[in-house]
């Protein structure tokens, strides 16, 4: 999503003077600079081959466009880090942008880790598994894959083609007979020695070769073995190889385009339309297509696609190891510098290229077509969401479409394990990364929903009032589940905290609690309904239902954890071993609480001192 439309440029004079004061003492060497506003928040992070010369460029007002004028006008301070080389400066800049998310930088918002397929190498009988996160375990990693679904589907098919174990080491060690995976021909049961180490190792090598793209004759090998088994009238073995061939075909069909000559490469293409940009990334490993994923970087207006791609490369590969080749749709300004920086991250040569013809150019164009399609879908969804938010603004008499809506709800059973929850929605739909849950801590009477809501709102907005330095963290509309009582509670909390400028509303079920006849409540306004069939009503219902789902899920999780807890868990010095010994001796935590010191001291692992501590814990008032 791009910034809002260009506003009249601010007067940068004060900021220019601030920058000049720093610029006079700067060295002429590589480094990274940060521009900060009056609250100390980062406005921009940049890198320079020559800090003194680069920073001086911001003091030439006539050369600044509107975006830079606003940035310079807001600059109250600067910070600098010198580096030995420009490559080090570029790497540091990428890390700082990811960490600080300055509002004038191009920002990569979706930075989730990618899943891999792992064939373990720290066990005599390797396991095939899905892996996400740091690659600390010994073994062979294949990926990245674009999604967990792609990995799950591939592993599912791989187990039919290469029947390796998927169970954990602990389950493997405890098996005394084959599991269901063996019965359905998806494992060879190495746990009970139904296959020799050599034969199992051969399957591991086949799976490794296939995933690496090194052996494209595996299907021919399987076909020959199937025909030989069939000729020997061993139809059961022939059927096994037939199924393995089908599984390999299924994997290759799902991967779509496969280019054996491509090797390990990422294809990154950008498309721009109406000041919105999509960057599409395709992953090829061993010539096989491991999927693709779209990104929508946050950027200012008027940014060239080459500039967006250059910033994207730095942030994207700050979290992911670059392959040997990266093919781009557009040239970037600092080609050699970025190539060198990626080589440092990859610990080897990385080649950046913009293909002009041939198969590689075809793949880049396909990635660009995918970027265009993804952007079209996103813009259509954004338009619908924008209309809904405009409708919300009309319904609640807001000054404009809300950029952040927070919805609150509570869940409990007779007051126990009470949980409050907040969900967030905005122009891009539900912002699940912003959801929060609140374990109710106060001494609240069972079933007192208004008191629970009071605690949740006091904690949320009390902290926001103390700590929030970014206006985007504040909601434009707070919607609480309930009627006039819940709304009155929210109004009272806001008055106590001195919060103004945030619209408050409540949503309650209509007569007979009929969905579709919801009533809405706002301070100083009679309860009202939206017309039947109004898309805004459906939108608000979805938000309310999502808050229900999230709070109930949080409540169930808390209740499940409580069920597994014991009063013994609260005693300092009582770990799992001592707790087990006490329960084996006395049968229950209640019996432990009723036992005397002498009886407690007779339990294995419980000294007299520990027995005294246990007794005092349960009899601290006597």
Domain harbouring 592, CATH code: 1.10.150.20
Q: How confident is the model at residue 563 (pLDDT cuts 50, 70, 90)?
A: very low
Give the whole-angstrom CA distance, residue 78 versus residue 200.
61
Give the whole-angstrom CA distance, residue 56 versus residue 156.
58
Give the whole-angstrom CA distance, residue 456 versus residue 478.
13
Question: What are the tens digits of pLDDT across the range 567-590?
Answer: 777 787 788 788 888 877 777 777
Residue 337 lies in a domain: yes
Q: How long is the chain?
A: 622
Of 40, 75, 100, the last residue of a domain is: 100
Residue 500 lies in a domain: yes
Residue 423, number of CB atoms within 10 A of its CB:
24
Same domain, 443 and 553: yes
Residues whose CB is less than 8 angstroms from the CB of residue 318 and which lie 6 or more positions away in sequence, other chains included: 91, 94, 95, 98, 345
Of 46, 73, 100, the last residue of a domain is: 100
The confidence score (pLDDT) of residue 339 equals 92
- Nearest partner of 334 among 352, 356, 316, judged by Cα: 352
Same domain, 412 and 556: yes
CATH number for position 90: 3.40.1440.10
Question: What are the tens digits of pLDDT across the range 439-451?
Answer: 877 666 666 788 8
Percent of the chain with pLDDT strictly greater than 70:
87
Residue 594 lies in a domain: yes
Question: What are the tens digits of pLDDT across the range 503-519?
Answer: 999 998 865 555 567 89
Q: How confident is the model at residue 3 (pLDDT cuts 50, 70, 90)?
A: very low
Of 544, 562, 580, the last residue of a domain is: 562
Q: Does the N-terminal peptide bond of residue 144 adopt cis geometry, omega within 30 degrees of 0?
A: yes
Q: How confident is the model at residue 12 (pLDDT cuts 50, 70, 90)?
A: confident
Residues whose CB is less than 8 angstroms from the CB of residue 45 and which lie 6 or more positions away in sequence, other chains included: 32, 33, 34, 93, 96, 97, 100, 102, 105
Q: How confident is the model at residue 6 (pLDDT cuts 50, 70, 90)?
A: very low
> Is the pLDDT score of 221 beyond 70?
yes
Question: What are the tens digits of pLDDT across the range 363-388?
Answer: 899 899 889 888 887 777 777 888 89
Locate the DSSP E strands across 286-435: 288-295, 325-328, 351-353, 405-413, 416-426, 429-430
Same domain, 353 and 286: yes
Residue 89 lies in a domain: yes
> Is the pLDDT score of 551 beyond 70?
yes
Same domain, 476 and 547: yes
Residue 186 lies in a domain: no
Same domain, 421 and 331: no
The confidence score (pLDDT) of residue 7 equals 39
* Structural domains counted in the chain: 4
The confidence score (pLDDT) of residue 2 equals 39
The confidence score (pLDDT) of residue 500 equals 83
The residues that bridge with 408 in the sheet, in sequence order, are 422, 480
Residue 596 lies in a domain: yes
> Is the pLDDT score of 479 beyond 90?
yes
Q: How confident is the model at residue 618 (pLDDT cuts 50, 70, 90)?
A: confident
Question: What are the tens digits of pLDDT across the range 245-267?
Answer: 776 665 655 444 556 667 789 99
Torsion angle defined by CA atoms of residues 49, 52, 53 and 59, in that order, rounded to the nearest 10 degrees: 130
Same domain, 582 and 530: no
Same domain, 354 and 485: no
Q: Dig out the tokens for 423 from the structure.
A: 């969900």
CATH number for position 352: 3.30.420.10
Same domain, 496 and 352: no
CATH number for position 481: 3.30.420.340
The confidence score (pLDDT) of residue 267 equals 93
Give this prediction's pTM.
0.58
Same domain, 438 and 572: no
Range of the domain at 41: 13-100
Same domain, 510 and 552: yes
Same domain, 341 and 410: no
Same domain, 544 and 578: no
The confidence score (pLDDT) of residue 408 equals 94
Residue 321 lies in a domain: yes
Residue 183 lies in a domain: no
Q: How confident is the model at residue 38 (pLDDT cuts 50, 70, 90)?
A: confident
């Amino acid at each position: 999503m791009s910034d809002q439309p260009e506003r009249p440029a601010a007067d940068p004079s004060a900021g220019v003077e601030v920058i000049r004061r720093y610029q006079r003492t700067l060295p002429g060497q590589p480094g990274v600079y940060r521009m900060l506003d009056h609250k100390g928040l980062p406005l921009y992070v940049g890198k320079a081959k020559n800090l003194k010369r680069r920073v001086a460029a911001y003091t030439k007002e006539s050369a600044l466009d509107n975006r830079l004028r606003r940035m310079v006008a807001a600059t109250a301070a600067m910070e600098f880090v010198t580096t030995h080389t420009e490559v080090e400066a570029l790497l540091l800049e990428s890390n700082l942008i990811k960490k600080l998310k300055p509002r004038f930088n191009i920002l990569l918002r979706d930075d989730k880790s990618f899943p891999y397929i792992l064939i373990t190498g720290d066990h005599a009988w390797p396991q095939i598994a899905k892996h996400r996160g740091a690659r600390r375990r010994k073994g062979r990693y294949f990926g990245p894959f674009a999604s967990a679904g792609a990995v799950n589907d591939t592993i599912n098919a791989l187990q039919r083609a290469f029947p390796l174990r998927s169970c954990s080491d602990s389950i493997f060690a405890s098996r005394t007979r084959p599991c269901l995976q063996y019965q359905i021909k998806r494992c060879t049961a190495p746990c009970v020695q139904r296959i020799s180490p050599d034969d199992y190792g051969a399957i591991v090598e086949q799976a490794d070769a296939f995933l690496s793209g090194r052996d494209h004759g595996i299907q021919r090998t399987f076909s020959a073995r199937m025909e030989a088994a069939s000729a020997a009238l061993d139809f059961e073995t022939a059927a096994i190889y037939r199924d393995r061939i089908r599984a390999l075909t299924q994997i290759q069909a799902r991967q779509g385009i496969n280019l054996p000559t491509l090797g390990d490469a990422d294809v990154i293409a950008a498309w721009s339309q109406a000041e919105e940009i999509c960057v599409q990334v395709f992953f090829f490993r061993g010539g096989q297509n491991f999927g693709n994923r779209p990104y929508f970087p946050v950027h200012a207006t008027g940014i060239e696609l080459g500039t967006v791609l250059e910033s994207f490369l730095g942030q994207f590969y700050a979290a992911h190891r670059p392959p040997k080749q990266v093919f781009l749709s557009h040239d970037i300004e600092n080609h050699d510098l970025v190539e060198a920086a990626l080589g440092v991250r990859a610990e080897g040569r990385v080649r950046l290229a913009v293909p002009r013809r041939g198969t590689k150019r075809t793949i880049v164009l396909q990635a660009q077509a995918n970027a265009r399609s993804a952007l079209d879908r996103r813009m259509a969804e954004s338009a619908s969401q924008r209309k809904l938010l405009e409708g919300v603004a009309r319904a609640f008499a807001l000054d404009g479409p809300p950029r952040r809506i927070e919805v609150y709800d509570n869940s409990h059973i007779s007051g126990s394990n009470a949980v409050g929850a907040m969900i967030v929605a905005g122009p891009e739909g539900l912002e699940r990364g912003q959801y929060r849950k609140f374990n109710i801590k106060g001494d609240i009477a069972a079933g007192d929903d208004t008191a629970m809501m009071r605690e949740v709102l006091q904690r949320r907005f009390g902290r926001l009032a103390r700590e929030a330095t970014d206006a985007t963290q504040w909601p434009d509309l707070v919607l609480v589940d309930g009627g006039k009582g819940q709304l009155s509670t929210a109004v009272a909390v806001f008055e106590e905290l001195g919060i103004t400028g945030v619209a408050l509303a409540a949503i309650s079920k209509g007569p007979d609690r009929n969905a579709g006849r919801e009533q809405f409540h706002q301070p100083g306004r009679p309860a009202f309904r939206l017309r039947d069939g109004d898309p805004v009503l459906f939108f608000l219902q979805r938000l309310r239902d999502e808050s229900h789902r999230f709070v109930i899920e949080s409540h169930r999780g808390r209740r499940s954890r409580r069920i597994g807890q014991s009063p013994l868990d609260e005693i300092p010095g009582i770990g799992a071993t001592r707790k087990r010994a006490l329960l084996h001796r006395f049968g229950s935590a209640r019996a432990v609480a009723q036992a005397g010191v002498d009886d407690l001291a007779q339990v294995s692992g419980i000294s007299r001192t520990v027995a005294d501590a246990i007794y005092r814990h349960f009899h601290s008032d006597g």
